[in-house]
Amino acid sequence: MAELLQLLVYGIVLGSIITLGAIGVSLVFGILRFANFAHGDLMTVGAYFALVVANLQLSMWVAFPVAFLGTIGAALVIDRVLFRPLRRTAPVILLISSFGVALILRSLVQLIWGSANQVYEAGIQMPYVVMGLRIKPDQITIVLGAVVLVTALHLFLQNTKMGKAMRAMADNVDLARVTGIDTERVVVWTWVIAAGLAAAAGIFLGMDTRLHPVMGWKLLLPVFAAAILGGIGKPYGAIAGGLVIGIAQEFSTLFLSPAYKPAVAFGLMVVMLIVRPKGLMGGRG
């Protein structure tokens, strides 16, 4: 029982990270209408921006905003240079382009920061022991951070004019356009949010494990699985999807080698696509 609860804790931590990535994938899919394969590497970029600050012996409170701004800037430049001219083409062209962006970002990270494993802080964190469960301070930061970010996103989507316009555009692009909504401005905000959350996911992943140029790429499969599980294009579904995938991956280590964790995400995604292709929350008919 204690072992199960311990795995649940790990699952929630991993699920929080996956959720932050999956929301971004879902938002970009809903509004820009393509599956962004560069999203994992955007997380990597965010993690390494934070590493730069951490290496200067500054606190993570400085690292976070720097990584946010850097990653958002990178996403906006990529959109402007590459995705924007392709906006009116077929989604598959955008998808392949995003694959190219993924390779470029990963190579740049490797070129600049090297391919060795790195950490934000050397040394061992002493875990808290609560009712027999071992919980590291970083894990608390990760889960709380994810809760704060998801809550902020929820308030933004429900209460602000831009948030409503984002939902409107995800709902019906053509109608958004004839209503007079400035769709390019909505796109910019979509990248700001998706890249910001990607940076947070990358940093949290780096805190939970370590930094490596393929860290984000390796998480892309579970992130996509979570987005699909939640019904792609629906950011709220991505939250549930992320937690389900994270917890399922950790529980699978009870009877499978941890090396098969991505296979669990993949398996769930396949089953989901067969059984409920519109996602956990269903969808409009």
165 belongs to the binding site for another protein (CB under 8 A)? yes
In single-letter form, the type of residue at position 271 comes to V
Residue 115 or 179: the one with the smaller Cβ distance to another protein is 179
171 belongs to the binding site for another protein (CB under 8 A)? yes
Q: Given candidates 181, 243, 245, 248, which one binds another protein under the rule CB under 8 A? A: 181
Q: Given candidates 1, 130, 161, 258, which one binds another protein under the rule CB under 8 A? A: 161
CB of residue 47 to another protein, shortest distance in Å: 33
Tokens of 268: 């769930």
CB of residue 4 to another protein, shortest distance in Å: 37
CA distance 26 to 225: 11
CA distance 67 to 199: 6
Query: Nearest Cα to 146, choosing from 2, 16, 276?
Result: 16
CB of residue 213 to another protein, shortest distance in Å: 38
Q: C-alpha 78: how far from its chain's center?
A: 17
CA distance 265 to 258: 12
Q: Given candidates 82, 168, 192, 221, which one binds another protein under the rule CB under 8 A? A: 168
Dihedral class, residue 90 (left if φ above 0, else alpha if ψ from -120 to 50, else beta): beta
Q: Which residue has the tokens 């808290």?
A: 128
88 belongs to the binding site for another protein (CB under 8 A)? no
Stretch of 69-77, 89-97, 109-117, 157-165 contacting another protein, by CB under 8 A:
157-165
CB of residue 275 to another protein, shortest distance in Å: 23
175 belongs to the binding site for another protein (CB under 8 A)? yes
Site pattern 199..238 for another protein (x: CB under 8 A): ----------------------------------------
DSSP letters spanning 184-197: HHHHHHHHHHHHHH
164 belongs to the binding site for another protein (CB under 8 A)? yes
The continuous run of DSSP H or E covering 183 comes out as helix 183-208
Tokens of 158: 């429900």
Residue 121 or 171: the one with the smaller Cβ distance to another protein is 171
Stretch of 158-166, 188-196, 204-212, 260-268 contacting another protein, by CB under 8 A:
158-166
Tokens of 210: 């370590």
Helix (H, G, I), strand (E, B) or coil at 210: coil
Binding positions for another protein, 13-52, rule CB under 8 A: none
The continuous run of DSSP H or E covering 161 comes out as helix 161-171
Q: Given candidates 180, 255, 258, 274, which one binds another protein under the rule CB under 8 A? A: 180
Q: Given candidates 75, 176, 239, 247, which one binds another protein under the rule CB under 8 A? A: 176
Task: Evaluate whether 235 touches 280 at the Cβ level (below 8 Å).
Answer: no
Residue 6 or 183: the one with the smaller Cβ distance to another protein is 183
Stretch of 59-67, 92-100, 163-171, 253-261 contacting another protein, by CB under 8 A:
163-171
Tokens of 119: 């950490």
Tokens of 178: 């004839």
Length of the chain: 285
Q: Provide the binding-site residues for another protein, judged by CB under 8 A.
A: 161, 164-165, 167-168, 170-172, 174-182, 284
